[in-house]
Structure 1
Amino acid sequence: MNPESEGHVVARLRAERLAASTKPFVARGGAGGRCAGCRLPHAYCVCDLRPSVATRAGMCLLMGDIEALKPSNTGWLIADLVSDTWAFAWARTRVDPRLLALLEDPQWQPYVVFPGEFVEPSRVVGEVLPPQAEDGHPRRPLFILLDGTWTEARKMFNKSPYLSRFPVLSLNPGTVSNYRLRRSTRDDHFCTAEVAALCLALAGETRAAEVLGAWLDVFSTQYLQAKRHLRPDRETEAHRRLSGLSDAPADQATTGLAV
């Protein structure tokens, strides 16, 4: 199962959700239309800046009801970068059989990413240590990210019994979120792309973590420029950081994420 063979997985999920909707979803601030590739107004499009980096880890996004429809959703950015990304709409009463098949795939070791303070301690882990598969090779980490509001994420965690057999990866980043597109009442709440970057760093994929963080910063900068009706500006610190990471050889990437 390769998500690349079916196009951008979050874009596909968005199309499925729109097709099933009984009324149109209209995102604020989209006068004049948005780019289908990055969801930004056309004058602020960043598709030509989309980075490329190899990753061994996989990402599985369980998305709240309208999360894929929101232009500010950052799960989309993960799928931009991590080739082995899957996205599924979450529902309490039904489970996508493709999700269950993914969780059974022997090449992957799933980790449910969720705060350990809300979980039975015996399930909580703080590091990524894939067990050996039957062929003697380490299984690849598959990070299950609950993509939605905090209320939605807690419901997904508590009402998804098929996730209960997997370890829970509890992150301790030691920093506060830099996410600027939505408000949260708690500084320790991170957006989905920030969580994914922290997971990649824990899996030893420092370069991918940094590039994803930089891609999020560029997207957020362009998004806010559009929201505030500012002139598109690609000479920002966020743009320079992404350009530097994109140009640097893979073995020269710095280790900027602390976990």
Structure 2
Amino acid sequence: MTTPRPYCYRCFKPQVVCVCGGPRVRNRTQVVVVQHPREMHHPIGTERLARLGLENCAVHVAWSCVVTPEMVPPGAALLFPSDKAREINELTDADKPSAIVAIDGTWSQARSLYRDNPWLAGIPHLKLTQAPPSNYRIRREPRVDYVSTLEAVVHALSALEPETEGFDALLDHFAGMVDRQLGFSERPPEGSYRHRRRTPRPLRPDPMLRDTTRSPVVGYVEYVAHDRAGVTEQCLVHVCVERLRDNERLELFARPVNDELPRDTHLHHMGLTRDTVEQGLDET
């Protein structure tokens, strides 16, 4: 039985390829990353480098009805190569956005998120036609002028605030991650190799959860989906938080707006009764 590799619980990569030690850039323009759920734990995704390397950066996973227009500040623009997109290098100071929104995922996933979130089409669009070729040699882009999420964000910020220092260092850190990843993938196997069926990886509990001196709190939330005017929304039903040091627990139930209670099958799956939900707090 092999010994598990040491793991970093900040960037969620093995410590041998940890990317937490990179530069930190004080960007003025806010960055909002809308991430496809399948990209959350991708081992070679670049969103984590943007999150760790940019001080003014927020990441929202695009679960249904979680990413909303309210999460994007007024005056934001979307990095997306649509027909109506303006070249970012041609903007005047008066036209520069207060924030840039980037979609994180494969190009197929990005198009799906764009289609499923109509509000994205309602904000100004920007494109990068003068960006250098992508250095993301781990994944093949569908076009030679397409770049990774991190590269797109950094090139956009460089155009919007050329006086800010650290963007080149962040791209160098990104290139180093790519080189290390490719180095491991190209390393020849040691000894004889026989293909075996892959077994599921064991869960890696965060060591912080075992440190009772830090009083970690674990939360659990349950939603149900409702169809309102043709739009699927998630309504909060159940919230439970527990402090691990002394097992103190807080449990709350929410009554969905408009009294649209979950179906009996959903209640049975969650182990709840209709009376429990009806007596819950108002979701609003």
- Normalised to the residue count of structure 1, the TM-score between the two structures is 0.62
The correspondence for 1:100, drawn from 39, 57, 69, is 69
Q: 1:67 deviation in Å? A: 0.3
Corresponding residue for 2:140? 183
Q: Do the aligned partners of residues 226 and 31 (structure 1) sit closer, same or farther apart at CA in structure 2, a change above 3 Å counting?
A: farther
Corresponding residue for 1:32? 5
Corresponding residue for 2:51? 79
Distance 1:71 1:112 in 2: 25
Q: 1:174 deviation in Å? A: 4.9
Corresponding residue for 1:220? 178
Amino acid at match of 1:41: P
Q: Do the aligned partners of residues 45 and 155 (structure 1) sit closer, same or farther apart at CA in structure 2, a change above 3 Å counting?
A: closer
Bigger helix fraction:
1
Contact preservation (8 Å) 1:58, 1:140: no
Q: Do the aligned partners of residues 226 and 35 (structure 1) sit closer, same or farther apart at CA in structure 2, a change above 3 Å counting?
A: farther
Q: What SS is found at the alignment partner of 1:53?
A: coil
Q: 1:226 deviation in Å? A: 3.1
Distance 2:26 2:37 in 1: 30
Q: Do the aligned partners of residues 52 and 36 (structure 1) sit closer, same or farther apart at CA in structure 2, a change above 3 Å counting?
A: same
Q: Do the aligned partners of residues 164 and 183 (structure 1) sit closer, same or farther apart at CA in structure 2, a change above 3 Å counting?
A: closer
Amino acid at match of 1:52: R
Corresponding residue for 2:154? 197
Q: 1:62 deviation in Å? A: 0.9
Q: 1:130 deviation in Å? A: 6.2
Amino acid at match of 2:118: P
Amino acid at match of 1:111: A
Contact preservation (8 Å) 1:130, 1:141: no
Q: 1:187 deviation in Å? A: 1.4
In structure 2, runs of 5+ residues without a counterpart are 189-284
Corresponding residue for 2:76? 110
Q: Do the aligned partners of residues 46 and 69 (structure 1) sit closer, same or farther apart at CA in structure 2, a change above 3 Å counting?
A: closer
Distance 1:146 1:46 in 2: 21
Contact preservation (8 Å) 1:44, 1:226: no
Q: Do the aligned partners of residues 37 and 218 (structure 1) sit closer, same or farther apart at CA in structure 2, a change above 3 Å counting?
A: farther
Distance 1:45 1:155 in 2: 30
Aligned-pair identity (%) = 22
Corresponding residue for 2:87? 126
Amino acid at match of 2:175: D
Contact preservation (8 Å) 2:25, 2:53: yes
Q: 1:150 deviation in Å? A: 0.7
The correspondence for 2:167, drawn from 202, 205, 209, is 209
Distance 1:96 1:174 in 2: 31
Distance 1:51 1:174 in 2: 21
Distance 1:33 1:228 in 2: 21
Q: 1:189 deviation in Å? A: 1.9
Kindly provide the CA deviation profile for residues 97-120 of structure 1, in whole angstroms up to 9, marking residues without a partner as x.
6x43232x44xx21111113xx3x
Task: Report which of the two structures shows the higher radius of gyration computed on alpha carbons.
Answer: 2
Amino acid at match of 1:95: C
Distance 2:160 2:26 in 1: 13
Provide the alpha-carbon RMSD of the alignment.
2.6
Distance 2:17 2:34 in 1: 28
Distance 1:125 1:83 in 2: 26
Distance 2:46 2:113 in 1: 18
Q: 1:76 deviation in Å? A: 0.8
